[in-house]
């Protein structure tokens, strides 16, 4: 009896570059009948609970670890047995936070194995990840105006101003809506911001010198105008990235552009005020990453306004932190970033836990991205109703165009995912 076509024969790694021009590790996996490749992304703002991205020595050392440790350990395994592959990656690393081989290294290897397995079987990656009954497509959550670390402190203090086309009937409509809002915002900024030159940040979002509330006024107007033209609802959202505003020594959030300092209660009131004023549909990381109780207080009020409260730095795709947040009612949505925990199996367990607790999993890119389309397959395969992947930029559009291809493959059985009823008010 011959060897299975999905048996891993070789694993290789090399240094490449991400969308910011920073070094990144790329892993290639060769099976008897297939091939897979994946590049690790990297975020500008990272939660303290994330896996260590790279070992000491950076990407060069990560490449060496793949050659010396990962490749010999994975060779001979069946690529279709993802849990076994990922358990071996944990064993090879031998630490709780992937500080030996690096969480990014583990992610690239884990994802490359999954891609190779799908190719060996002759099926799409989303079907390999989710099974033959997967048919729902996620709504695209796009970054339209950048601030915070994405604009080096020269834009709004809040890191991302987002758009979600919750009324779209299909992927093409949804993507078109986000592109149109992005374009409309660019035109409005030419009038509203005398210093605006058409510049964009890490994720393709417009870079403006306007403050938070003035920028939100522009985004809100664009959403209303495009919603009226297309005939369905498009709503704005935020990624506050509040941990980047938090100053431990002051026990407060420091808005340097605004010249304002807010304690926890001030911050909660401020965010709730923005929700009400701008009809926000989504707010990510409104408080610092250890304030589970503050999140809970905010989430209770936000639910009355039809707004999702999402944790990224709060949860870092970590099951223990998700469980704690669920127990306290800290959020009703969870950002899912595989390289925060290292492997696809860890990611799947985090998604399953979040969903079992009634929380919406949001498959998300990182600010430093590759042109890999895999996030689209991950979102569909793991049944995430929302995918956060920017609006413009080749590395972002690669994921969005892949959603169109997945929709074409699904044909008539494909449909948009079900969003929580509370945000369809």
Place of tokens 């799409």: 124
| Contact criterion met (CB below 8 Å) for 359 and 334 | yes
Catalytic residue among 337, 383, 388, 399: 337
Are 333 and 281 in contact by the 8 Å Cβ rule? The answer is no
The single-letter DSSP state of residue 335 is E
Under DSSP, is residue 334 helix (H, G, I), strand (E, B) or coil? strand
Show the 3-state SS of 312-365. Answer: CCCCCCCHHHHHHHHHHCCCCEEEECHHHCCCHHHHHHHHHHHHHCCCEEEEEC
Whether residue 337 lies in the annotated active site: yes
Task: Determine which helix (DSSP H) or strand (DSSP E) holds 191, and give its type and residue range.
Answer: helix 171-192
Which tokens go with 68? Answer: 């010396």
Beta-bridge partner residues of 262: 253
Choosing from 26, 50, 160, 203, the catalytic residue is 203
Q: What are phi and psi of 272, to 5 degrees?
A: -60, -35
Q: Which residues pair with 164 in a beta bridge?
A: 235
What 8-state DSSP symbol labels residue 276? Answer: H
Q: In what order do the strands lie in the sheet with 260-262?
A: 246-247, 252-255, 260-262
Q: Count the Cβ atoms, other than its own, within 10 Å of residue 131.
A: 9
What is the C-alpha to C-alpha distance for residues 160 and 176, in angstroms, rounded to an integer? 20
Catalytic annotation on 203?
yes
The residues carrying an active-site annotation are: 203, 337
């Amino acid at each position: 009896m011959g060897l299975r076509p999905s048996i891993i024969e070789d694993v290789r790694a090399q240094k490449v570059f991400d969308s910011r021009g920073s070094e990144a590790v790329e892993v290639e996996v060769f099976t008897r009948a297939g091939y897979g490749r994946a590049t690790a992304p990297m975020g500008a703002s990272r939660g303290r609970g994330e896996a260590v991205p790279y070992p000491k020595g950076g990407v060069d050392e990560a490449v060496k670890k793949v050659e010396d440790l990962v490749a010999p350990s994975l060779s001979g395994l069946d690529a279709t047995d993802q849990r076994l592959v990922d358990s071996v990656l944990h064993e090879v690393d031998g630490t709780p936070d992937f500080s030996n081989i690096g969480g990014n290294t583990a992610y690239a290897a884990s994802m490359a194995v999954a891609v190779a397995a799908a190719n060996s079987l002759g099926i799409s990656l989303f079907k390999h990840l989710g099974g033959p009954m997967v048919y729902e497509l996620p709504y695209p959550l796009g970054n339209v105006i950048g601030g915070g670390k994405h604009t080096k402190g020269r834009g709004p203090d809040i890191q991302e101003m987002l758009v979600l086309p919750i009324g779209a009937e299909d992927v093409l409509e949804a993507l078109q809506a986000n592109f149109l809002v992005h374009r409309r915002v660019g035109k409005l900024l030419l009038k509203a911001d005398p210093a605006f030159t058409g510049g964009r940040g890490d994720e393709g979002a417009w870079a403006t010198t306007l403050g938070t509330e003035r920028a939100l006024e522009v985004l809100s107007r664009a959403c209303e105008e495009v919603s009226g033209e297309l005939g369905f609802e498009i709503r704005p959202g935020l990624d506050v990235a509040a941990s980047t505003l938090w100053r431990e020594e002051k026990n407060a959030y420091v808005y340097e552009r605004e010249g304002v300092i807010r304690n926890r209660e001030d911050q909660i009131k401020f965010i709730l005020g923005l929700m009400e004023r701008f009809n926000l549909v989504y707010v990510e990381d409104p408080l610092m990453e250890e304030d589970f109780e503050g999140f809970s207080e905010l989430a209770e009020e936000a639910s009355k306004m039809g707004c999702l409260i999402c944790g990224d730095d709060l949860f870092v795709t970590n099951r223990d932190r998700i469980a704690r947040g669920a127990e306290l009612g800290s959020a009703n949505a969870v950002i899912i970033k595989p390289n925060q925990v290292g492997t696809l199996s860890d990611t799947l367990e985090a998604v399953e836990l979040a969903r079992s607790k009634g929380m919406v999993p949001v498959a998300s890119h990182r600010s430093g991205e590759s042109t890999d389309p895999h996030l689209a397959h991950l979102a569909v395969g793991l049944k995430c109703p929302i995918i956060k992947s920017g609006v413009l930029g080749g590395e972002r559009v690669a994921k969005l165009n892949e959603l169109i291809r997945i929709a074409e493959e699904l044909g008539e059985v494909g449909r948009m995912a079900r969003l929580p009823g509370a945000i369809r008010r």
